[in-house]
A and B are shown apart, each in its own frame.
Chain A
Amino acid sequence: MSRQTALQVNNLRVSYMTGDREVKAVDDVSFSLYPGERLGIVGESGSGKTTLALALMRLHKPPAYIMGGEAILDGSDILALEREDMRQTRWSKLSLIPQGSMNSLNPVIKIKHQMADAIEAHERGWSRAQIAKHIGELLGRVGLPDSVAEMYPHELSGGMKQRVCIALAIILEPSVIIADEPTSALDVVVQRVVMQTLNDVQEQLNAAMIIIGHDMGLMAQSADRLAVMYAGKMVEVSPISAFFSDPQHPYSKLLISSLPSPEEKRELAGIPGSQPSLLELPSGCAFHPRCPLAVERCRQEIPLLRDVSGDRRAACHLVEDLAS
């Protein structure tokens, strides 16, 4: 593909070093992100989604370490940047909508100061009046009244706090926004509205967005493409409609069949077993103990993420067989 990417991640590996053992939380993950695109990343808890997001912002804390790979943003590898350059890159090119939006705002600082310091940290040379005007404008864009600027976080509801986080994320018009479970702390009604707001502001900016979550319904509504993570590896990346109509990886198939459907009443099929411990990964394909289609090759050989057809990729020996 020759299209210009907003973010190109190649062979990223992040591990937690516990004692003398290495736990591979993100194992050889590669993907491209195009301007204006929304990429959903789904996976069970512990599949490495949040570790991936934090590593891209370089906010991972020991014992997590980036073991290799690169992430090209705006022509430079952000994983290799000096500390100060990385600080400047954060928020101006790459922003984050955090997972715990309830506690992501400093309880003792007014909203406007928490928004203004992000601008001031990046030396845009704006006057105070310009900053205040910009903040008011942004709050309006996420559907909040100007008065919120003068408030403290505890005076806002959960949905309002999340809107503040969204306004904050676009304050410097970044080219990539990482939304880490942006709505998981909200009730379903507010979830929809907040997600709609997020999608709107992202479209206005033409920013690329990574949405991390495990709510397949939300992904179906918002994402353009979907990536599935399992035990630290990306097992399938497909455009959203193709993913739901014709999932490639057996894990994706089981995920979709476990979703309730209004058309047919049936017993919901779960996925038997549970995700393996990253400390004791099974040999070969990490999914083979739970895979109904597993063959001998799956137990021995780790499948690579490969192009299946055009814009679809999957990491499964059986899918490769189909393609060849």
Chain B
Amino acid sequence: MGLFKGNPTLNRYRLLDSPEDLTDEFIRDRLTRNSFVDIENTAEESSLGWVEIMSPLATGFDPAAWRFGGFLAFQARLDTRRLSAKTLNRYYLIKEAEIIAQTGRKPNSHKKKEMMESLRQDLMRRSLLNTDLLEVLWFLGEREIWIGGAGEKKRLIFEDLWERTFGLPVRLLVPITLGLEMLPKKSAETLFNARARFLMGDEDD
């Protein structure tokens, strides 16, 4: 579950560099260049890009659609389609039977490869797309980014698209990274060297 619909789930990142020229033009340009490209009528396996926060179909990126006072908001959209080897083989065997009926011979390996690729393209084009949306909120003052989801897969989708779009380094906020930035330097050093010490069966500091 993301941020907007249902019961939100979120992961947090810290932006490690403060960008200098963070104008609306710059952001819009980057979003547009990395906007989602529709693959509905193609044989492409996947497409990842930005869409507007209020509409997974909109890629106009007028600043009014993503600037909300102190934070920016957009969505990463990932469309994927899958074709199992089993399905491909099934259709290949049908095609192969047709050829054997016509020629009396099995296709050679070169022909088989060609047929497989042609079938793959055809079946991919006919298979339904699965759409995943990942909301991204960028709090400018705090240099903090939220993604509407949990788990490694969602984090990798975000990190890939973020890096490609803005090229700005981010660090996932987890207890240790959060703690190190919350504490004064001396306490943070103690935390960095701390080891598990809780109740039973733990190590000594």
Report whether chain A binds chain B.
no
Q: Which residues of A contact B (CB under 8 A)?
A: none
